[in-house]
């Protein structure tokens, strides 16, 4: 299952505020924390944990939940096919067989449970024998230890076709880690695999292609790829709208520091509320407020809308010999929730038609 609910919204706010303070040229980020907690949990800042003294100032973000909105639930019921495409245009082809082995690299940004792999390939000449497919980790940038394998049965199609293989055992790809899919067949057979020599990097951000002849070593290119598709699970997605309310509390031992952080937080929240995706303006108010709004579209970009911002009264409490000054913000947001249920009975979907001529 996947969720995009209050806890995810809190994560986005925490990451966003951390960026504000880490990139500020006014604030020195010594002894400053941005803390997130779930409703009902006890934050470190509470007085009855004196053995763990907190660093000040603190920005504590709590989630208070909110009502679900079922107005558009039908729009969120769908099948979700998880796939990654290597290359888009068959600009060339390479030989498989006749002592040639071929491979393409795979790198994903999130964990992916591998379901099957497709390759654009056609029969060339001589005998038509099975093709062995090996999924391996990368070692020093070339194919390394085999993790799983499968077989494409021999065929004699002389036009390029998508040929699919399921690997055994099933594996899960780790993010930002390079893998290779290796294709091998007997030397008395020749196949041709389509290749994209100039892939669109927005669609294939990590193009890798490797080949070797006989007992030689692998030759690797990081600017081309075999024309292939890897597919993950098929999900049934269910979801709808959600109104998530957050509490954002600022605390500091110095009332002037508390007010300064309050100004930055209040300005940044309103910038997020009214920003658009292409806004790149700077708001400067020396000597305290100096902030670039290039990242102010973070919330809208992930589907979080800030509805309302309200500020509470100032408070002061004593902790030992210290006085802790604080102020609370209430932030109302609107986003969506979603759950993805894996569907094992749906096998695969063929990629959109590609002209192999």
pLDDT digits (tens, 9 = 90+) for 204-235: 999 999 999 988 999 999 999 999 999 888 77
Question: For the whole model, what pTM was predicted?
Answer: 0.56
Does some domain include residue 234?
A: no
CB 312 within 8 A of CB 330: yes
Same domain, 198 and 292: no
Distance in angstroms (rounded) separating the CA atoms of residues 125 and 123: 6
Does some domain include residue 347?
A: no
pLDDT of residue 115: 87
pLDDT of residue 98: 92
Does some domain include residue 165?
A: yes
Final residue before a domain boundary, out of 226, 254, 283:
226
CB 136 within 8 A of CB 179: yes
What are the residues facing 156 on neighbouring strands? none
Q: For residue 85, is pLDDT > 70?
A: yes
Does some domain include residue 104?
A: yes
pLDDT of residue 42: 44
Q: What is the dihedral of CA 260, 265, 266, 267, to 10 degrees?
A: 90
* Structural domain for 114, as ranges: 88-226
Same domain, 114 and 185: yes
CB 195 within 8 A of CB 94: yes
Q: For residue 33, is pLDDT > 80?
A: no
CB 90 within 8 A of CB 356: yes
Q: How confident is the model at residue 56 (pLDDT cuts 50, 70, 90)?
A: confident
CATH number for the domain that contains residue 188: 2.60.120
Q: How confident is the model at residue 344 (pLDDT cuts 50, 70, 90)?
A: low
Pick from 35-49, 56-70, 103-117: least confident: 35-49
Per the structure, the count of domains in the chain is: 2
Pick from 148-162, 217-231, 309-323: least confident: 309-323
Q: For residue 58, is pLDDT > 90?
A: no
% of the chain exceeding 70 in pLDDT: 75
Does some domain include residue 350?
A: no
Same domain, 158 and 48: no
pLDDT of residue 43: 44
Per DSSP, 8 falls in state H
CB 230 within 8 A of CB 348: no
Final residue before a domain boundary, out of 226, 252, 270:
226
Query: Residue 205: is the preceding peptide bond cis (ω within 30°)?
Result: no
Q: For residue 277, is pLDDT > 60?
A: no
Same domain, 99 and 46: no
Q: For residue 25, is pLDDT > 70?
A: no
Q: For residue 5, is pLDDT > 90?
A: no
Same domain, 162 and 200: yes
**CB 157: neighbour CB atoms within 10 A?**
12
């Amino acid at each position: 299952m996947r969720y995009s609910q209050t806890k995810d919204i809190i994560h986005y706010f925490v990451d966003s505020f951390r960026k504000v303070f880490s990139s500020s040229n006014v604030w020195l980020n010594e002894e400053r924390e941005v803390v997130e907690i779930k409703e009902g949990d006890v934050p470190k800042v509470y007085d009855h944990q004196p053995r763990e003294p907190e660093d000040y100032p603190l920005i504590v973000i709590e989630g208070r939940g909110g009502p679900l909105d079922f107005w558009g639930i039908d729009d969120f019921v769908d099948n979700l096919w998880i796939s990654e495409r290597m290359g888009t245009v068959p600009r060339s082809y390479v030989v498989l067989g006749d002592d040639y082995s071929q491979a393409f690299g795979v790198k994903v940004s999130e964990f992916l449970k591998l379901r099957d792999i497709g390759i654009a390939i056609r029969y060339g000449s001589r005998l038509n024998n099975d093709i062995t497919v090996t999924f391996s980790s990368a070692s020093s940038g070339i194919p390394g230890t085999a993790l799983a394998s499968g077989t494409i049965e021999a065929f004699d199609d002389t036009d390029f076709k998508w040929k699919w293989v399921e690997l055994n055992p099933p594996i899960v790809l780790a993010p930002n880690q390079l893998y290779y899919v290796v294709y091998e067949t007997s030397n008395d057979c020749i196949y041709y695999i389509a290749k994209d020599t100039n892939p669109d990097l927005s669609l294939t951000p990590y193009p890798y292609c490797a080949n070797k002849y006989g007992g030689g070593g692998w030759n690797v290119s990081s600017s081309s790829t075999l024309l292939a598709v890897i597919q993950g699970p098929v999900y049934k997605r269910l979801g709808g709208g959600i109104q998530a309310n957050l509490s954002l509390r600022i605390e500091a031992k110095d009332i002037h520091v508390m007010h300064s952080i309050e100004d930055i937080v209040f300005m940044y929240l309103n910038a997020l509320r009214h920003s658009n995706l292409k806004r790149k303006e700077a708001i400067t108010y020396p000597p305290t407020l100096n902030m670039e709004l290039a990242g102010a579209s973070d919330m809208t970009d992930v589907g979080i809308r800030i509805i309302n911002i309200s500020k509470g009264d100032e408070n002061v409490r004593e902790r030992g010999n210290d006085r802790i000054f604080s102020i609370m913000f209430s932030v109302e947001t609107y986003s969506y929730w979603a759950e993805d249920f894996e569907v094992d009975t749906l096998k695969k979907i063929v990629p959109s038609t590609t002209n192999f001529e």
